[in-house]
Amino acid sequence: MDNVIASNHSPVETPPEVTLIPNNSLLTETPEEGRQLAVKMARLIIKLTQPDDEKRKQLRDVYGNDAMMLIAVGQTVATEFATIAAANNYWQK
Amino acid sequence: MDNVIASNHSPVETPPEVTLIPNNSLLTETPEEGRQLAVKMARLIIKLTQPDDEKRKQLRDVYGNDAMMLIAVGQTVATEFATIAAANNYWQK
Amino acid sequence: MDNVIASNHSPVETPPEVTLIPNNSLLTETPEEGRQLAVKMARLIIKLTQPDDEKRKQLRDVYGNDAMMLIAVGQTVATEFATIAAANNYWQK
Amino acid sequence: MDNVIASNHSPVETPPEVTLIPNNSLLTETPEEGRQLAVKMARLIIKLTQPDDEKRKQLRDVYGNDAMMLIAVGQTVATEFATIAAANNYWQK
Amino acid sequence: MDNVIASNHSPVETPPEVTLIPNNSLLTETPEEGRQLAVKMARLIIKLTQPDDEKRKQLRDVYGNDAMMLIAVGQTVATEFATIAAANNYWQK
Amino acid sequence: MDNVIASNHSPVETPPEVTLIPNNSLLTETPEEGRQLAVKMARLIIKLTQPDDEKRKQLRDVYGNDAMMLIAVGQTVATEFATIAAANNYWQK
């Protein structure tokens, strides 16, 4: 969240240390891979916002035992997946 | 949530133990089946985030008696369903 | 929420007791009927998540007097309705 | 919220006392009227969920002085408006 | 929030004192102007909901020092902007 | 949040001090750059709402150690990215 809220260094102007989209593409072979990409993209925004590995680890127990947060993660992944699915024309043949 | 926040093992790079999309397809015969798939996909993200069956069971009572969480589940399913419905051209004949 | 979080029985694999989409169709004659369907679909996800009628009744007073929850219900219905409206081409002549 | 969570009477099966979409149409002459319709539709879902006028009035002070709820109302109206705007082809000439 | 929850005067039936969309159009020359319109539209819904200038001012300090609310404002603006961007065909040449 | 809630000076009428969209364009060469733009746009709305650099810095520790806020940031970025991805036709060749 640091850089989102208060950083003076724009990710656009200065390359972030974190790659935000693996392989720099939204296209995947299958829906399953698209879903995995959605999870990955959600995770990378969190990593960009809180780059400290230790802090993220400390937050694990909070997440795993908080029902509302589990649901909220699902909401975020669903939003990411909507974009990926559209990019792949929903993998229609 | 663990792997979403802090795991070093990317679901993209290492196959997750959890299948995220049953049958690896967003296409269903009917809206009803599409709705069931939306519920399933929402559930599988939670399972991926909190793989411990016991912990998820302990969270049951929390969910079942919390009005706000019930609504939040509905919001997540609605978002998943929007994608599935679009993938199926809304099951228009 | 039970089955969303922790059930071992997938709604996809085992037919749920709850019908999730009345008439198994997103198509309605009018916007008003589409809106009613959105409310119905939101309600049925809650019923699927908390099948106990008594528990749902006990949550009534919580909902009816909580401003934030009233708003949250509106958000969920709005999301469901967006899908239904698209399915019906917004009822354009 | 009552009927959303626990009513036995489906809005689909039994006509609701509340008209959910004025004039039974998403089409408006102008964006301004579309925006007003979005506010109206959001309000009518709340009325459907909490039909008691007195209770809704009692919740007024809660809303008016709660910053987060003001924002949440804005989120819901934004979602409703997205659908209405699409229905009107964004009022493009 | 007052009129959203409990007003007897529909914004559709009685013209609101607040203009909800400046210039009554979603079309802008540039993305930057579209973004400014999104902020404006989000603000006007709040003004419609809480018309008292003093009360809105009192809520300033709450907002400015609450991280979650800052994020929530961003979410609402993002949703408004999505509609405006679509209305302008994303300002593609 | 100040200007969103209570400012008398409309961003539309008076140019904001903050540029809301870098380069005044949603178009990017790659998905990665589009993702960075999404983060940047989310950050700039927060900057517009809370222009005080010191206050934003003070909120850093709050964000970085709050799991729910980390997720909420992800939700906002996902929404911004959906618009950017659509603007770029999902970077399809």
- pLDDT digits over B38-83, tens only? 999 999 999 999 999 989 888 877 887 899 999 999 999 999 999 9
Q: Does residue C1 register a pLDDT over 70?
A: no
Helix, strand, coil in percent for chain C, rounding step 5: 65, 0, 35
Cross-chain Cβ contact D1/B70 below 8 Å:
no
If interface means Cβ-Cβ distance under 8 Å, which residues of chain E face chain F? 22, 30-33, 35-37, 39-40, 42-43, 46, 53, 56-57, 59-60, 63-75, 77-79, 81-82, 85-86, 90-92
Tell me how far apart the alpha carbons of residues D85 and D51 are, in angstroms, rounded to a whole number: 28
Are residues C70 and E5, on separate chains, in Cβ contact within 8 Å?
Answer: yes
Q: What is the pLDDT of residue C61?
A: 74
Would you list the DSSP string of D26-93?
A: ---SSHHHHHHHHHHHHHHHHHHH---HHHHHHTHHHHHT-HHHHHHHHHHHHHHHHHHHHHTGGG--
**Sign of the four-CA dihedral B9, B14, B18, B21:** positive
pLDDT tens sequence across C46-85: 999 999 998 888 887 788 789 999 999 999 999 999 999 9
D1 vs B contacts (CB less than 8 Å): 67
Contact (Cβ atoms closer than 8 angstroms) between residue B73 and residue C45: yes
Comparing CB atoms, the residue among F37, F73, F81 nearest residue A49 is F73
Burial (CB < 10 A; 0-12, 13-18, 19+), residue E15, is: exposed
pLDDT surpasses 70 at D84: yes
Q: Looking at beta carbons, which residues of chain F come within 8 Å of A55? A: 64-65
Distances (CA, A) of B71 to B8, B63, C77, D87, F91: 32, 10, 10, 26, 35
Cβ-defined contact of C26 to B91 (cutoff 8 Å): yes
Cβ–Cβ gap A45/F39 under 8 Å: yes
Q: Does C82 sit within 8 Å of B85, measured CB to CB?
A: no
CB C53 within 8 Å of CB D6: yes
Q: How confident is the model at residue A63 (pLDDT cuts 50, 70, 90)?
A: confident
Euclidean distance between CA atoms E5 and E18, whole angstroms: 17
- Which positions in chain E touch C70 (Cβ < 8 Å)? 5
Task: Write down the pLDDT at residue C60.
Answer: 72
pLDDT band at D20 (very low <50, low <70, confident <90, very high): very high
In this prediction, residue A8 has a pLDDT band, given cuts at 50, 70 and 90, of very low
Name the residue with higher pLDDT: E9 or C81.
C81
Q: How far is B64 from chain F (nearest CA, A)?
A: 20
Q: Indicate whether this complex's ipTM tops 0.85.
A: no
Interface C-D: count of C-beta contacts within 8 A: 129
Q: The pTM is what?
A: 0.87
Q: Are B5 and B14 in contact (CB under 8 A)?
A: no
Interface test with B, best of A24, A29, A43, A57 (most B CBs within 10 A): A43
Fill in the DSSP letter of residue C89: G
d(C-alpha D38, C-alpha B44), whole Å: 34
**Neighbours, chain D (3 or more CB pairs < 8 A):** B, C, E, F
Amino acid at position E67, single letter? A
Residue positions counted in chain C: 93
Q: Is the model's pLDDT at B3 over the cut of 80? A: no
Contact exists between E and F (3 or more beta carbon pairs < 8 Å):
yes
In angstroms, the separation between the Cα of residue F4 and the nearest Cα of chain D is 10
Residues of F in contact with D70 (CB under 8 A): 5
Residue in this structure with the two tokens 């127990």, named with its chain if needed: A61
Confidence of residue F63 (pLDDT cuts 50, 70, 90): confident
Q: Which range has the worst mean pLDDT, B66-75, C15-24, D2-11?
A: D2-11
- pLDDT value of position E11: 44
What is the C-alpha separation between D8 and C13, in angstroms, rounded?
27
* Cα–Cα distance, D49 to D47 (Å, whole number): 5
- Under the banding of pLDDT at 50, 70 and 90, the label for residue C39 is very high
> b/e for D53-92, b at 16 or more Cβ within 10 A?
eeebeebbeebbbbbbbbbbbbbbbbbbbbbbbbbbebbe
In this prediction, residue E17 carries a pLDDT of 75
Instruction: Identify residues of F whose CB sits under 8 angstroms from chain B CBs.
Output: 67, 70
pLDDT-derived band at D3, boundaries 50, 70, 90: very low
* Total count of residues recorded for chain A: 93
- Chain CA centroid to CA F93, Å: 27
Give the whole-angstrom CA distance, residue C32 versus residue F66. 41
Name residue E85's amino acid.
Answer: A
| Alpha-carbon span B6 to A26, nearest angstrom | 22
Q: How close B28 comes to chain F (CA, Å)?
A: 24
Using CB atoms, which residue from F12, F25, F50 is nearest to E64?
Answer: F50
